[in-house]
Structure 1
C-alpha cells in the first residue's frame, strides 16, 4: 500500500496548487482526480469561458470597430466550430501544463473517485475499473462545486443547460434565456450576444452582480443594455419547459405580472453547490453545514484533525484564486509555518467587456456598518488611453475612511479592470491611504491612471483630468 504525507482529493486550482506547495515543502504528496487535471475551472469554467470571451470579442470588434480604426475588411463570419475547437486546444494545452507540474514535483496522480475508508486510508475507484487503497497522514479536500439546479428547471444537457453545456454548443443560439444575473450568466450571455444571439437575462434579485458594489451593478446594466442584452430583474422563474427544439420559461415579474420567454436554449446559472457526495464523509465523521459545505476552523481544518478542506467546498467566495491561497495556507501550516489570508482582500472579477472588478468593502457594506467614509471616482472616458482604444465605458471608485484616509475598498468597471484590480489589492494589503495612491507615479497614457485620479478625487477633489 502506497503511503503519503498528504493526499489531495480534487485537482482544481485549489487542489493542484496545494499539492505543488506540499511537494515543494518536502512532503510526499498524492492527488486524486476523477476526470481531468485542472478541475472545473480549467476544463469547464474559468479557462474555456475566457477563451470564448476573447474569441467573441475579436469578432465583435471586427464587425463594429475595425472600420473606425481604418481597417476595411469584408463582413466577417462566425466559424463557431473553429471557435469551439480553439477553446478545446487551450484547455488541452493547460491540462498538459498541469500534468508537467505534477511530474516535475514528483506528485503521484490517481485518476478516479477517492473516498474515506477511515481518517488515514482512502479508497480509490480508479477510472480503469480497478480499486486501490492508499494510506495518508493528512488529507486536503478540494473537490470543488457543481452547478446548482432549480427544482422546476432540471437541466437536461440539451435545451436546459448549465455553463458546462454552454461551452460546448454545436450552434450559436437564436435566443438564449439566462436564469441568473451573476458572473457566469453575464459572461456566457456576453459570448453569445456578440456572436449574434438575442440574450434575455432573468434575475430574482433587484440588480445584477448583487455581491459587488452597487455602482458597478448599475453601470454594467447600462452598458450591457446598450450592447443589446435584455434584462428582467426582481423576476421569479416559476416554470421551464423543453419543447423539443425550443424552451419556454414562465416567470412572475416585480409587479406580480406573468411573463413568458421563448428561446432555443435556457442557461441555468443560479450559483454553485459544494461537491462532497462521493467522499464518504460519514465514514470519518467530517461535519458539514446546512448548505452542504464542509465545516472548518480558522486553519481550514475540519473536526477531524488530519483532514482539511479548501475552495468551493468550504464557506466563502467560490473563486479559483481564493482556493489557491487556501491550498498554500494548508500546505505551509502542515510544516509549521504561519501563513495568513485576509478574506476581505480577495478580489472579485467579471470578465464581460468592459470588465468589472472589486476588492475590499463595498459602499453598501460601509453604510450597513456605520463607517464614515469618503468617495473618489474617475471616468474612463476622461483617459487619453481609453479614447485611443475606444474603451470609454466605466470608472474607478475608491472608498476611504473619512478620518484616517485609509483605503477601504476599490471598485472598477472598464477596460482591463481584471488586471488593474491587482494594484488595488496591493494598496489595501499594505493599508495605503488615498493620499498614498495619489502620490504614486502612474505611467501615461494608461488605464491605470484612473486609479490615481480616483485617489486624487478622494483626497479633496483634486482629480486633474476631470
Structure 2
C-alpha cells in the first residue's frame, strides 16, 4: 500500500473523548493522528447530540419563560418561532465549535484522516476511505474512541421517514401535531421538552414504571408534578407493534401484560431507548480485544485493553455514556502513553438531564445508600423560599444533599430546577475533597443566587438555618 504513514499514537474517533486524547498526546510531545469516519470532528456530541440539543433546549426554555410572563400579563405578545432561523442558529453554533476544533488540531500539527479505521495487527490500522484511497497507519499506540450509536428495536419500520431517532429529531424536519417518544431516559425527556415547547402534543411511553430509574423517587416525583400538564407519561406500557400503512402511525400498546391492547395515532415517533457501543469491528484481523457481554471494551483503570499498546476511552468502554467522562479518560490515556503513572479513579461523575426543569445528580443517591447499607441522612431545601428563584419566577426547584450519618460528610446530591447542572460543581468538589455539611454551611454563599440553596441545605443539616422555620436548632 503506497499511502503508509507512521505515527506514535493513532486515535480512532474524533468525538470529545477522541479529540481530547489526541490534543493531550500532542501537548505531551507525541506525533498523533486522528482517524474520523465523518467529515467533522466533534462526534455525535457536537454534531448531532449534546450541542445541538442544548441549543434547541435553550430556545425552548426562552419560549417557556415568555409564555409564562405572557400568561401573567407582564408581556403583551406571545412569542412566534421561525423554524428556519432556529435551524440556522443551531448550525452556526455547531460550525463555530467545529471550526474551533479544526484550529486546535491544526495548531497542534495533528493529521486528521477521514475514513473507517480497522485494525490489521497490534501495530497497524487500515483506514477505509469513501474514495477507496485507503491508508495504512503504523503506530506505537492506539486509542479507541469510537463512541456509541442508537439502539434499534426489531419491530419498528425504520425505513419510514416518520420514524425518527434523536439525530433526526434535532434536524427539526417538522413540528408534528402529535408525537410519541419511545423511552423516558434523558434523551427522550429532552426531546419531549423541545417539541412540547415548539407546539407538539407529546406522549412518552416506557415499559418501566419510573422515568430516570437511577434518580431518587422524590426528585422524579417532583419533576413529574412540574410536567404533568406538558406531556403525557405512559409508564408501565409496552409497544407491541406499529402500523405505518396509514396517514397516521398506528401504535398498538398494552399496559396490563397483553390482557388488553389499545391503539393511539401519531404523526411522528421518536425512538430514544438508549445507545450501544461501536465496538463490533475492532477485532478484525487482530487478536481478540476483550469485550464484555454488553459489547463494551474492557479496560483497566489506566484505560488499557488486554493488548498493552491499545487503549479505549469514552462510550465504547461502558456507562455512564457521558462526554465529560470520555474527555477525562482521553487525557489519562494520553498521559499513561507518555509514561505518567496516572489512574482513572474519580469519586463521582455528574449527570444532567437538560429538561425543564433541569435535573442533575452526582455521587451516592438514597437508592445507592440503601443498597450498599450506608448510614445516611438527607437535607433538602425547596426553592419556594429562595430569593433568586422567586425573583426570576423559578420557584419550582429543590436542592438535596446526601450526607453520611457518622461523619457528616457530603456523599451525594441532587438538584432539580433552573440551570441545576451549574450547581453540581460545588457538590462534586465537596465530595471529592471530603467536605462535611459544616464546611458547606460555613462557606459564605452569594445572595441572591441559586447556588445559595446548597449552603441553606447544609445549614438545615447542622441546625443553623434561618431562611425557613428551624426545627433542628443547634
Q: TM-score range by the shorter chain?
A: over 0.9
Work out whether residues 399 and 458 of structure 1, in 8 Å CA contact, stay in contact via their aligned partners in 2.
Answer: no
Instruction: Give the equivalent residue in structure 1 for 2:189.
Output: 186
Work out whether residues 146 and 278 of structure 2, in 8 Å CA contact, stay in contact via their aligned partners in 1.
Answer: yes
Is residue 2:303 matched to residue 1:300?
yes
> Normalised by the size of structure 2, how large is the TM-score?
0.94
Is residue 2:216 matched to residue 1:243?
no
Which secondary structure does the structure 1 equivalent of 2:289 belong to?
coil
Give me the whole-angstrom Cα distance separating, in 2, the residues matched to 1:459 and 1:94: 44
Instruction: Give the equivalent residue in structure 2 for 1:319.
Output: 322
Instruction: Give the equivalent residue in structure 1 for 2:472.
Output: none
In the TM superposition, what whole-angstrom CA distance separates every residue of 1:362-395 from its partner, at most 9, and x where no partner exists? 1011011111111100011211100111011120
Instruction: Give the equivalent residue in structure 1 for 2:81.
Output: 78
User: Among residues 223, 228, 231, which one is paired with 1:229 in the alignment?
Assistant: 231
Give me the whole-angstrom Cα distance separating, in 2, the residues matched to 1:313 and 1:293: 5
Give me the whole-angstrom Cα distance separating, in 1, the residues matched to 2:169 and 2:204: 15
Give me the whole-angstrom Cα distance separating, in 1, the residues matched to 2:263 and 2:372: 40
Give me the whole-angstrom Cα distance separating, in 2, the residues matched to 1:281 and 1:215: 47
Displacement of 1:344 after TM fit? 4.3
Change beyond 3 A, Cα 1:82–1:243: farther
Give me the whole-angstrom Cα distance separating, in 2, the residues matched to 1:67 and 1:214: 31
User: Among residues 102, 110, 118, which one is paired with 1:115 in the alignment?
Assistant: 118
Residues 189-268 of structure 1 mapped to structure 2, 5 A cutoff: 189-226=192-229, 228-243=230-245, 245-254=247-256, 256-268=259-271
Change beyond 3 A, Cα 1:33–1:204: same
Work out whether residues 283 and 289 of structure 2, in 8 Å CA contact, stay in contact via their aligned partners in 1.
Answer: no
Change beyond 3 A, Cα 1:65–1:243: farther
In the TM superposition, what whole-angstrom CA distance separates every residue of 1:95-128 from its partner, at most 9, and x where no partner exists? 1111111111111100111110111111111244
Work out whether residues 34 and 127 of structure 1, in 8 Å CA contact, stay in contact via their aligned partners in 2.
Answer: no
Displacement of 1:245 after TM fit? 3.6
Instruction: Give the equivalent residue in structure 2 for 1:31.
Output: 34
Instruction: Give the equivalent residue in structure 2 for 1:370.
Output: 373
Displacement of 1:21 after TM fit? 0.6
Displacement of 1:60 after TM fit? 2.5
In the TM superposition, what whole-angstrom CA distance separates every residue of 1:429-466 from its partner, at most 9, and x where no partner exists? 10111111111110000000111111112224746335
Which secondary structure does the structure 1 equivalent of 2:228 belong to?
helix
Give me the whole-angstrom Cα distance separating, in 1, the residues matched to 2:30 and 2:435: 37
Give me the whole-angstrom Cα distance separating, in 2, the residues matched to 1:63 and 1:166: 23
Change beyond 3 A, Cα 1:16–1:69: farther
Displacement of 1:281 after TM fit? 4.2
Work out whether residues 277 and 295 of structure 2, in 8 Å CA contact, stay in contact via their aligned partners in 1.
Answer: yes
Work out whether residues 302 and 342 of structure 2, in 8 Å CA contact, stay in contact via their aligned partners in 1.
Answer: no
> Normalised by the size of structure 1, how large is the TM-score?
0.96
Give me the whole-angstrom Cα distance separating, in 2, the residues matched to 1:40 and 1:241: 30
Which secondary structure does the structure 1 equivalent of 2:115 belong to?
strand
Give me the whole-angstrom Cα distance separating, in 2, the residues matched to 1:245 and 1:461: 62
Change beyond 3 A, Cα 1:282–1:184: farther
Residues 353-432 of structure 1 mapped to structure 2, 5 A cutoff: 353-432=356-435
Displacement of 1:343 after TM fit? 4.3
Deviates more, 1:3-12 or 1:58-67: 58-67
Work out whether residues 113 and 278 of structure 1, in 8 Å CA contact, stay in contact via their aligned partners in 2.
Answer: no
In the TM superposition, what whole-angstrom CA distance separates every residue of 1:385-424 from its partner, at most 9, and x where no partner exists? 0011101112011011111101110111011111111111
Which secondary structure does the structure 1 equivalent of 2:352 belong to?
strand
Unmatched 5+ stretches in structure 2: 470-474
Displacement of 1:179 after TM fit? 0.7
Work out whether residues 160 and 242 of structure 1, in 8 Å CA contact, stay in contact via their aligned partners in 2.
Answer: no
